[in-house]
Amino acid sequence: MHPAFSVIFLTTLIGAGQGLFVALYLAELGARYGWISAVPSGFYAAGSALVIVLMVLGLIASIFHLGRPERGWRAASRWRTSWLSREIIVLPLFTAGAFLYGAAHWLLPPDTGAQATPALGAVTVVLSFALYVCTGMIYACLKFLQEWATPLTVVNYTLLGLASGFTAATAYAAFAAPALAGFFGPGALALAGAALVTRGASLVRNARLKPKSTLATAIGIKHQKIVQKSMGMMGGAFNTREFFHGRTRATLRAVKWLFLLLVFPVPAALLAAGLAQGSAPLLAGAFALQYLGLLAERWFFFAQANHPQNLYYQSMA
């Protein structure tokens, strides 16, 4: 498939935002039950503002994927059957939940806020995981794209989003509440390790796939020997632009190893060093490099999917 950078930015930005909110809520619960040090409510309010910024940036990026942005609201009308429609509904609900959670921490008196924020946070966390499922299922439900049609697609979207969110929370805490960096950092490392296992499993699975379609089934001609001589056109068309990335196998291999390095070992090393030294710049660098790696990972995710129509349209005589 041809990777659309608008969707790449959308999925990586909102995934990190969702993970950041989950991290904030777990920290609040940990402080409430005495597992970790308590911090002022402003920490959670500012953190929620960062979540909203990530979500809004993702929404802005998604606008560039719409041919007619003014009609984008209609995409929510098919919520009974479409995972995309469900995502469009859940995304603003989650963003609104994050806003109310942050506003409660900022505006309500401590006693009142202590009663309201746990409930608001719990509902928003549920919406966060619902959004991970909706986003992942947009691709996992497409059975004719074998690389995506697996539960690992949803699992990877969830774990990678949570890992990047916890890494962002570690960097944020290093500047705003250093005592909490030691809480978020190990979570980020554990989630990245789990994501490495599941993303590696998907890479191994996809490398072993055998195409179910052939040139004969693609064009509807039953013959043992079919040779393509021409596409019947002088240049590219919608099919050649939108369903094939146009890059070489060497480029795909390079991007794969790039994201494997940037998403997993490099930020893990920076996180470990940053936590050991109490260095906020190192922790911020861990998130920045991991996010760059996620952009490469998401590009590879789309480019690796081989649409059956490419049996006919991917080459021109």
3-state helix, strand, coil in the chain (%, to 5): 75, 0, 25
Where do the H-state alpha helices sit in 108-150?
A: 110-140
Question: What are the structure tokens assigned to 288, written together?
Answer: 């920045």
Q: Residue 154: pLDDT band by 50, 70, 90 thresholds? A: very high
- In the prediction, which pLDDT does 317 show? 46
DSSP state of 4: P
Q: Which tokens in the block code for residue 88?
A: 């469009």
Contact 159, 19 (CB under 8 A): no
Picking from 31, 22, 27, the residue whose alpha carbon sits closest to that of residue 51 is 22
pTM: 0.91
State residue 75's pLDDT score: 73
What does the block give as tokens for 7? 């969707």
CA 274 – CA 267 distance, rounded (Å): 10
What is the pLDDT confidence band of residue 26, given thresholds at 50, 70 and 90?
A: very high
**Which residues does 15 contact at the CB level (< 8 Å), separation at least 6?**
132, 135, 157, 160, 161, 164, 165, 294
Task: Give the pLDDT mean for 265-283.
Answer: 96
Nearest to 26 by CA among 150, 173, 140: 173
Residues 227-254: b if buried by 16+ CB within 10 A, e if exposed:
eeeebeeeeeeebbeebbbeeeeeeeee
* Domains assigned to the chain: 5-313 (1.20.1630.10)
Contact (Cβ atoms closer than 8 angstroms) between residue 106 and residue 44: no
- 65-95 pLDDT, tens per residue? 766 666 666 777 778 889 999 999 999 999 9
- Residue 86 tokens read as 């469900």
Q: Nearest 10 degrees: CA dihedral of 192, 197, 202, 208?
A: 150
pLDDT of 112-137, one tens digit each?
Answer: 777 889 999 999 999 999 999 999 99
- Please give the full DSSP string across 30-90, using - where no structure is assigned: HHHTTSS----HHHHHHHHHHHHHHHHHHHHHHHTT-SSGGGGGGGGGGTTT-HHHHHHHH
Residues in the chain, how many?
Answer: 317
